[in-house]
C-alpha cells in the first residue's frame, strides 16, 4: 500500500525584525550626533562691513549721550559742592553766634550765683532745654529785660543753627548721589568707546578700506544736500532783497541797501565772533567732557564759542536746545546751533551754505562738515 501524503502545512519560519530596529536606532543616533557636532562647530557668521559701520556709529552716538549725562552730572556736582561749602561755612558762623549767646547766658548765671539768687534762673540759663523753663512766669519775673533778650537770642540762634545743619546734611546726601551718577556716566562712556574700538580692530585691511569708502560716499551725499540748502538759501535771500528794494522804491526811501535794525547788527557781530572762535579751534581733538582750550566735546565747543561772543549758554546739549529761538533748517544763519539725533546727543555751529563746525567724536578733530552728515533734530539761535 502506498504511503499517504502528509496534509500538514509546512512550518514557516518568521524572521525577527529586532536587528533592523537596532540598526535604524543606531543610524538615527549617528545622524543626530553628527548634526549636533556640526552645529557646535559652525562659527558665528562674521558681520558685514556695513553692519560694523552701523554698530560703530550707534556706539559713538550712545557714547555721546553718556557724555552729555557725564557733563550734566559734573556740572551738578560742582554746583552742589559750592552749595555744601557755603552751608558748612554758614553752620560754622552760626555755631560761633550760638556759643556767644551761650557765654552771655553763662555770664548772667555767674552773676546770679554771686548775688545768691542762683536757684531757679541759673538752672534756666544752663539747662539743655531752656524752653521748659521759659513758660514759667515766676522765673520770667526775676529776669531783667536784657536777660530775657539774651534768652531769646540764644533760642533763635539755636533754631537757625539746627536748621542749617539739617540743610547741610541733605545737600551732602545730594552731592553723594550726583557723584555716583558722575562715576556711572564716565564708566558708560568708556565702555561704549571700548566696544567701538574692539569692533574696528577686528576688521582686515580690505574691510577697513571698504569702510572708508562707505564713509566717503556718506560724506559726499551729505555735501550734496548741503549744496542744495545753500542754493535754496541764496535764492530766498535774493528774493527777500528784491522785495525789500521794491518796497523801498515805492516808499521813496531809496534803494533799501545798508539798512537794518541795531538788533540785527548786534546779532551779526556776535555770530561773526562765534565763528571766528570756532574756526580757530579746527584741528583740535575731540575729548569727551572737555571744554577747552586744548580739546573739546561737541557742547563744550559750542559753549566756549558763544562765551567768546559774550553770551553764556548752558553746558549740555539738552539744556542748550532750550535757549534762544527755535529756527527751521531753511532759515539757518551763521552762528546758529544745530542739534542731532532724537536724543539730542550732538550739536554743531552753523557756518553757512549747509555746513557747520563741530567736535565730531572720539578719534576725530574739530572740523567743518555738512549738517546732513547726521540726522537733524532741530536748531536754535542763542542770541
Q: What's the rounded Cα separation, in Å, for the pair 89 and 175?
A: 16
CB of 142 closer than 8 Å to CB of 120: yes
DSSP string for 196-253: HHHHHHT--HHHHHHHHHHHHHHHHHHHHHHHHHHHHHHHHHHHHHHHHHHHHHHHTS
Instruction: To the nearest 10°, report the CA torsion of 170, 172, 176, 181.
Output: 70
| Residues across the chain | 383
Instruction: Report the DSSP pairing between strands 337-340 and 346-352.
Output: antiparallel
- Annotated active-site positions, please? 298, 346, 358
**What angle (nearest 5°) sits at the alpha carbon of residue 32, between those of residues 34 and 25?**
120
Helix, strand or coil, per DSSP, at residue 296: strand
CA distance 14 to 328: 92
All cell numbers assigned to 147: 536777660
CA torsion, ordered 330, 334, 340, 346, to nearest 10 deg:
180
E strand or H helix that includes residue 339 = strand 337-340
Q: What's the rounded Cα separation, in Å, for the pair 365 and 342? A: 24
Output the CA torsion 350→282→358→294 (10° steps). -130
Amino acid at each position: 500500500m502506498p504511503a499517504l501524503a502528509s496534509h500538514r502545512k509546512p512550518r514557516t519560519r518568521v524572521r525577527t525584525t529586532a536587528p533592523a530596529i537596532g540598526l535604524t536606532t543606531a543610524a538615527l543616533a549617528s545622524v543626530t550626533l553628527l548634526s549636533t557636532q556640526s552645529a557646535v562647530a559652525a562659527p558665528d557668521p562674521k558681520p558685514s562691513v556695513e553692519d560694523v559701520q552701523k554698530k560703530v556709529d550707534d556706539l559713538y552716538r550712545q557714547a555721546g549721550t553718556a557724555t552729555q549725562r557725564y557733563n550734566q552730572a559734573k556740572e551738578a556736582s560742582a554746583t552742589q559742592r559750592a552749595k555744601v561749602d557755603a552751608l558748612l561755612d554758614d553752620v560754622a558762623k552760626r555755631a560761633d553766634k550760638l556759643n556767644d549767646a551761650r557765654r552771655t547766658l553763662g555770664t548772667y548765671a555767674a552773676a546770679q550765683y554771686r548775688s545768691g539768687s542762683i536757684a531757679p534762673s541759673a538752672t534756666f540759663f544752663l539747662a539743655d532745654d531752656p524752653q521748659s523753663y521759659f513758660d514759667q512766669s515766676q522765673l520770667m519775673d526775676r529776669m531783667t529785660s536784657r536777660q530775657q533778650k539774651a534768652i531769646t537770642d540764644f533760642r533763635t540762634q539755636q533754631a537757625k543753627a539746627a536748621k542749617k545743619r539739617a540743610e547741610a546734611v541733605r545737600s551732602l546726601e545730594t552731592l553723594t548721589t550726583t557723584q555716583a551718577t558722575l562715576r556711572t556716566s564716565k564708566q558708560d562712556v568708556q565702555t561704549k568707546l571700548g566696544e567701538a574700538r574692539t569692533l574696528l580692530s577686528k576688521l582686515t585691511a580690505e574691510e577697513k578700506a571698504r569702510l572708508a569708502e562707505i564713509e566717503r560716499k556718506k560724506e559726499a551725499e551729505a555735501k550734496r544736500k548741503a549744496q542744495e540748502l545753500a542754493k535754496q538759501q541764496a535764492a530766498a535771500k535774493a528774493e527777500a532783497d528784491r522785495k525789500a528794494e521794491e518796497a523801498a522804491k515805492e516808499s521813496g526811501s531809496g534803494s533799501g541797501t545798508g539798512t537794518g535794525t541795531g538788533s540785527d547788527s548786534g546779532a551779526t557781530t556776535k555770530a561773526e565772533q562765534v565763528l571766528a572762535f570756532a574756526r580757530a579751534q579746527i584741528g583740535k581733538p575731540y575729548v569727551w567732557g572737555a571744554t577747552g582750550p586744548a580739546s573739546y566735546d561737541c557742547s563744550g565747543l559750542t559753549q566756549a564759542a558763544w562765551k567768546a561772543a559774550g553770551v553764556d549758554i548752558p553746558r549740555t546739549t539738552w539744556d542748550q536746545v532750550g535757549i534762544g529761538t527755535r529756527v527751521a533748517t531753511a532759515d539757518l544763519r551763521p552762528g546758529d546751533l544745530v542739534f542731532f539725533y532724537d536724543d539730542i546727543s550732538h550739536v554743531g555751529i552753523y557756518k553757512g551754505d549747509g555746513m557747520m563746525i563741530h567736535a565730531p567724536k572720539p578719534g576725530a578733530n574739530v572740523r567743518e562738515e555738512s549738517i546732513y552728515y547726521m540726522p537733524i533734530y532741530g536748531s536754535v539761535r542763542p542770541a
